[in-house]
Amino acid sequence: VTSLDDGVRLSRRVPGQRHPADASTARLLLGDVRVARTGPADPIDREDWLAREAWTDHRTHLAARPPGGLWLVDVLESAGLAGHGGGFFPAARKWRSALARPRGGTVVANASESEPISAKDATLLRQRPHLVLDGLALAAETLGAARAVVWLHADDVVTRLVVEDAVAERQRAGLPELAVEVVSGPGTYVAGESSAVEQALTGGPALPMFRGFGPSSRDQRHRPATVVHNVETLARAALLAHNAANAGPQWRAEVSAAGLETVIVTVLTATHRHVMEVPASAAVEQVARAAGWSEVPGAVLLGGYGGMWVSPGDIGDVAIAEPALRTAGAMLGAGIVAPVPAQSCGVAETASIVGYLSESSAGQCGPCLFGLVALASRLDELRIGRIRRSALRRIAEDLQAVRGRGACSHPDGVARLIASALEVFAADFAAHADGQPCESADSAFVPVPAVG
């Protein structure tokens, strides 16, 4: 871990001169944390509970926040900030399309972190709530929003307390900012999807909406926008804003990316999840080793349940940053790196995750509802060795039937996961289709929560 940390710090140091973007303004987390394999991001080690930046510490680390404004859209654009919830949609494009609509909209810091393995967003909020709230305020000011909301996962009680404390600290400090609403959404998988957050905040259910039609999007143009950002995206926007505002002209060009040189990941191990901030240039294998993986894993789940399986041989040397992974045909998604041991059964791992994802469908779109149930049961039959060769053909047909056919991308994520499993675990699938389930078919390494 230490060697990875040094990489970040060294790259920011310029001999003989004080660089405007030193380590404290280039990093997001105060430190790496170990949390339990499932549930909220509660640290395992007692001292990690104390890692929390109070308002006064925040103001010591960073100079006063600049006011938001159109200048910030340009900063985000030239830095290339993209959404860290998993979609990596360019933040500046999202802001420009919101700016084309009437003022008085809503900005949301989305910390629902509905990918069950992810613990990075809650960890970031618990450690540096003010950095995220700075980002939220900057977005609200830039976009002329009337509401600023922090959207949380139902069972994350601790993060809620931390955020409420931080909001109170800012009120006491008398900051000229929009009052922040702290809202606990449901704990379901799709409740963190941005259109579900938008619908819930306007009094509807926390379920994804359909946005595909011209007529409705024409209507939307006359209503203020709801802009939902992952909390890491907002924290990075805040760092970019601080660094750009405080840099002398001679530093401007170099500073444009200060705030994007690291990646925050949640790495799954046999005993815990490791939330860590690593240099964007760190290789996937290096990251896994830093989290405690001494053996070479059989495969790695990248991005989350709605992500994809990759082979360590294909991806081990690739940098953990989203652009590098995308070029290599992989993805960072929600920043999840979940290696599984070499003896794991890919059919069992995938069947267990798809079972959860199928139950997590909002049930609004027929192809997703029926298609995911069909895929989940086919995979489960394959897992226990009850069906034969035709199973693989049926799975291929059903993948075709669900892709692109939901209002949100939930079915697409499931299809991608299964398609990647068929490639990475081809031998496991062939053995199971031959009626030879492996010994580990009854237990999965990747934990899956019960659907409430």
Partner 1 sequence: MRARHAARVSAVRLMVDPIRCEAVGVCAQLAPGLAELDRWGYPLLPAATLTKSEQRLARRAVRGCPRQALALVSPADQD
Give me the residues that bind partner 1 (CB under 8 A), please.
Answer: 97, 209-210, 212-215, 217-218, 364-368, 370-371, 401, 405-407
Shortest distance in whole angstroms from residue 230 CB to partner 1: 21
Please say which residue, 41 or 408, places its beta carbon nearer to partner 1. Answer: 408
Please say which residue, 224 or 297, places its beta carbon nearer to partner 1. Answer: 224
Shortest distance in whole angstroms from residue 191 CB to partner 1: 16
Shortest distance in whole angstroms from residue 89 CB to partner 1: 12
Please say which residue, 9 or 405, places its beta carbon nearer to partner 1. Answer: 405
Shortest distance in whole angstroms from residue 229 CB to partner 1: 19
Shortest distance in whole angstroms from residue 211 CB to partner 1: 9
Residue whose C-alpha is closest to residue 377's, from 428, 418, 341, 430: 418
Please say which residue, 323 or 366, places its beta carbon nearer to partner 1. Answer: 366
Shortest distance in whole angstroms from residue 305 CB to partner 1: 21
Please say which residue, 85 or 371, places its beta carbon nearer to partner 1. Answer: 371
Shortest distance in whole angstroms from residue 71 CB to partner 1: 25
CB atoms within 10 A of CB 371: 25
Please say which residue, 38 or 220, places its beta carbon nearer to partner 1. Answer: 220
**Per-residue tokens: 283:** 């290789």
CB atoms within 10 A of CB 412: 16
Please say which residue, 46 or 218, places its beta carbon nearer to partner 1. Answer: 218
Please say which residue, 24 or 220, places its beta carbon nearer to partner 1. Answer: 220
Please say which residue, 15 or 215, places its beta carbon nearer to partner 1. Answer: 215
Shortest distance in whole angstroms from residue 399 CB to partner 1: 13
Shortest distance in whole angstroms from residue 183 CB to partner 1: 23
